[in-house]
């Protein structure tokens, strides 16, 4: 055995140890990444699942004309000013007859959401014959009482209810007078200061209008730009300049696009604040580079033989591109478009700049109504101190993530199904 071989043999064990160590670091790195993903998701789901159901309390509601101050339920004026809270208060006091003190009475009626009043009014409006009758109704609890029900028994002393209120809740719970049900208002209402009445429908509609504007503009413009750069642009300085610009824009921080929107669309053009139209325009500029880059890749993937065959048959350059190259490149372009849309749907910072952070209760009906979008709603709720809003925030995140994951999965499936390998 030569000296060299001897030397190599001696170091072999050390080198193998180094090899194992290196591999171990790799596994660690992957695990950290996956662990972070797992933590993020369990944290959000663990916090948010409770927002999808809500507790209501069973009460004997008497539509007493005297308390309500209504003698003709067909009169809209009377209906509007009826004392519905009083009816709920009476029902609660009938349930807990021992409560005498003013303060205790107030604490008692605070258990039921103010939304109960609106519901009674809607019922009375729909069927006026209810006046004077008594019905057993399930009424929504206030957010603090709702959170109390949702926390497990061991942690309940931290809830924001007084001892007295907790005792009442326990009594109701033991009598099976509270029950959990699906939280409809989460998906049917706009924002509200009261957590139990707040919903994400307003934000979802705002996101929808914003995305429609973005899609209608960014996809055609992006594809057209990609076609020009890939098929028609002469090789010169100016084309290079455009390319450098596109690549740089793809890496410009999104907040800068917000500044652009604020200064140009709102400051210069005088467009209104907080509307999906302006949000859509800003997001269009932001997603364009992504769409252009992926569309160019899709066009590039179409083999030159197709172009040559079409040209050989006498098609003009434009005919070749529009009738042969584009249809073949379309799946790839759509994939890029979906990814761009997903990016735009999750974007928050530029929309803060153009004022889409306003507190808006009404549901938007078009791209020119003031609105907020889903990620901004998450941001707004995350800064509210109430425990219920933390749950709501997580629930909104879950809905947002569902949309995003669906879009991304769709993109992956489309890439696999439709994209042709040449």
Partner 1 sequence: MQTGQLLLILAAMIVTAFIMGRHRALQVAQPLGGIRHLRSLPFYYAMRSAIWCALPALTVLVAWLIFDQTLIRIMVLDSLPTELQPVDGTARNLMLSQIGNVASGALPTDFVDAAVANAAGRLNQLQSISAMAMAVVVIVLAMLGGAWAWLRVSARMPAREQVERVLLVVFMLCAVLAVVTTVGIVFSVLFESIRFFGQVPIADFLFGLNWSPQMALRADQVASEGAFGAVPLFAGTLLISAIALMVAVPVGLMSAIYLAEYAHSKVRSFAKPALEVLAGVPTVVYGFFAALTVAPFIRDVGQSLGLSVASESALAAGLVMGIMLIPFVSSLSDDVITAVPRAMRDASLGLGATRSETIKKVIFPAALPGIMGGILLAASRAIGETMIVVMAAGLAANLTANPLQAVTTITVQIVTLLTGDQEFDSAKTLAAFALGLMLFITTLLMNVVALHIVKKYREQYE
Determine which residue in the list 170, 361, 408, 420 makes contact with partner 1, applying CB under 8 A: 408
Contact status: 263 vs partner 1 (CB under 8 A): yes
Comparison of 154 and 251: residue with beta carbon closer to partner 1: 251
Span 144-173, contacts to partner 1 by CB under 8 A: none
Q: Is 182 one of the binding residues for partner 1 (CB under 8 A)?
A: no
Maximum CA extent, the chain: 113
Please tell me the distance from the alpha carbon of residue 319 to that of residue 20, in angstroms, as a whole number: 59
Q: Which is nearer to partner 1, 82 or 336 (CB)?
A: 336
209 binds partner 1 (CB under 8 A): no
Task: Verify binding: residue 245, partner 1, rule CB under 8 A.
Answer: yes
# chain residues binding partner 1, by CB under 8 A: 89
Which H or E element spans position 220? helix 201-227
Instruction: Tell me: does residue 117 bind partner 1 (CB under 8 A).
Output: no
- Residue 154 DSSP code: G
Determine contact, residues 213/367, Cβ cutoff 8 Å: yes
Kindly report the CA angle at 231 between 228 and 234, in degrees rounded to 5? 80
Element (H, E) at 17: helix 3-48
Among 264, 306, 330, 410, the residue binding partner 1 under the rule CB under 8 A is: 264
19 interacts with partner 1 by CB under 8 A: yes
Q: Does 49 bind partner 1 (CB under 8 A)?
A: no
Measured between its terminal Cα atoms, the distance across the chain in Å is: 54
Q: Is 257 in the site for partner 1 (CB under 8 A)?
A: yes
Chain-centre distance of CA 40, in angstroms?
A: 16
Quote the CA–CA distance of 345 and 127 in Å, as a whole number: 42
- Could you tell me the smallest distance in angstroms from the CB atom of residue 409 to partner 1? 10
Q: Does 327 bind partner 1 (CB under 8 A)?
A: no
Asked if 132 touches partner 1 (CB under 8 A), the answer is: no
50 versus 95: smaller Cβ distance to partner 1: 50
Binding-site member from 122, 180, 216, 224 for partner 1 (CB under 8 A): 224
CA neighbours closer than 13 Å in the CB half-sphere of residue 50: 19
Residue of the chain from 198, 213, 262, 278 that contacts partner 1 (CB under 8 A)? 262
CA 97: distance to chain centroid?
A: 44
- Span near partner 1 by CB under 8 A; candidates 103-111, 147-155, 170-178, 241-249: 241-249
- The site string for partner 1 over 371-400 (x = CB under 8 A, - otherwise) reads ----xx-xx--xx------x--xx--x--x
Query: Among residues 49, 52, 53, 228, which is the contact residue for partner 1, using CB under 8 A?
Result: 228
Whole-Å CA distances, 17 to 5, 26, 28, 30, 88: 19, 14, 16, 20, 75
DSSP string, 27-95: HHHHHHHHHHHHHHHHHHHHHHGGGGEEEEEEEEEE--HHHHT-S-TT-HHHHHT--HHHHHHHHHHHH
Q: Which residues contact 39 (CB under 8 A, 6 or more apart)?
A: none
Rank residues 94 and 318 by Cβ distance to partner 1 and give the closer one.
318
CA distance 216 to 219: 6
281 binds partner 1 (CB under 8 A): no
Closest approach of partner 1 to the CB of residue 106, in Å: 32
Candidates 40, 122, 313, 413; binder of partner 1 (CB under 8 A) is: 40
Which of residues 1, 3, 13, 27 is near partner 1 by CB under 8 A? 27
Number of Cβ within a 10 Å radius of residue 293: 18
CA-wise closest residue to 55 among 190, 148, 121: 148
Is residue 60 close enough to count as binding partner 1 by CB under 8 A? Answer: no
Site stretch for partner 1 (CB under 8 A), options 40-48, 120-128, 160-168, 299-307: 40-48
- 30 binds partner 1, rule: CB under 8 A: yes
């Amino acid at each position: 055995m030569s000296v060299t071989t001897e030397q190599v043999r001696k170091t072999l064990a050390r080198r193998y140890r180094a090899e194992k160590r290196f591999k171990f670091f790799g596994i660690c790195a992957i695990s950290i990444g996956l662990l972070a993903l797992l933590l993020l998701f369990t944290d959000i789901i663990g916090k948010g699942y409770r927002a999808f159901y809500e507790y209501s309390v069973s009460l004997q509601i008497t539509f007493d004309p005297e308390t309500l101050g209504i003698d003709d339920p067909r009169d809209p004026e009377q209906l509007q000013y009826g004392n519905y809270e009083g009816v709920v208060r009476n029902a609660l006091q009938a349930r807990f007859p021992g409560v005498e003190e003013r303060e205790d009475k107030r604490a008692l009626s605070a258990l039921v959401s103010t939304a109960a009043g609106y519901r009674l009014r809607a019922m009375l409006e729909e069927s006026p014959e209810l006046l004077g009758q008594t019905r057993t109704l399930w009424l929504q609890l206030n957010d603090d009482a709702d959170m109390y029900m949702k926390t497990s028994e061991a942690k309940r002393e931290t809830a924001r209810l007084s001892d007295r209120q907790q005792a009442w809740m326990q009594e109701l719970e033991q009598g099976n007078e509270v029950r959990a049900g699906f939280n409809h208002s989460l998906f049917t209402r706009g924002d509200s200061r009261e957590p139990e009445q707040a919903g994400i429908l307003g934000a979802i509609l705002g996101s929808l209008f914003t995305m429609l504007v973005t899609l209608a503009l960014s996809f055609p413009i992006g594809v057209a730009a990609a076609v020009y750069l890939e098929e028609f642009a002469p090789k010169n300085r100016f084309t290079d300049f455009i390319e450098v610009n596109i690549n740089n824009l793809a890496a410009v921080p999104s907040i800068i696009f917000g500044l652009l929107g604020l200064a140009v669309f709102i400051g210069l053009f005088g467009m209104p604040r907080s509307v999906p139209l302006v949000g859509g325009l800003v997001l269009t500029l932001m997603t364009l580079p992504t769409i252009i880059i992926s569309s160019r890749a899709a066009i590039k993937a179409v083999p030159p033989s197709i172009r040559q065959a079409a040209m050989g048959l006498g098609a003009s350059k434009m005919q070749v591109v529009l009738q042969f190259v584009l249809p073949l490149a379309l799946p790839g372009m759509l994939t890029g478009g979906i990814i761009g849309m997903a990016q735009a749907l999750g974007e928050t910072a530029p929309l803060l700049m153009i004022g889409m952070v306003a507190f808006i209760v009404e549901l938007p009906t078009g791209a020119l109504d003031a609105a907020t979008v889903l990620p901004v709603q998450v941001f707004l709720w995350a800064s509210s101190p109430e425990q219920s809003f933390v749950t709501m925030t997580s629930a909104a995140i879950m809905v947002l993530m569902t949309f995003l994951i669906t879009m991304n999965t769709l993109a992956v499936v489309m890439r696999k199904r439709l994209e042709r390998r040449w």
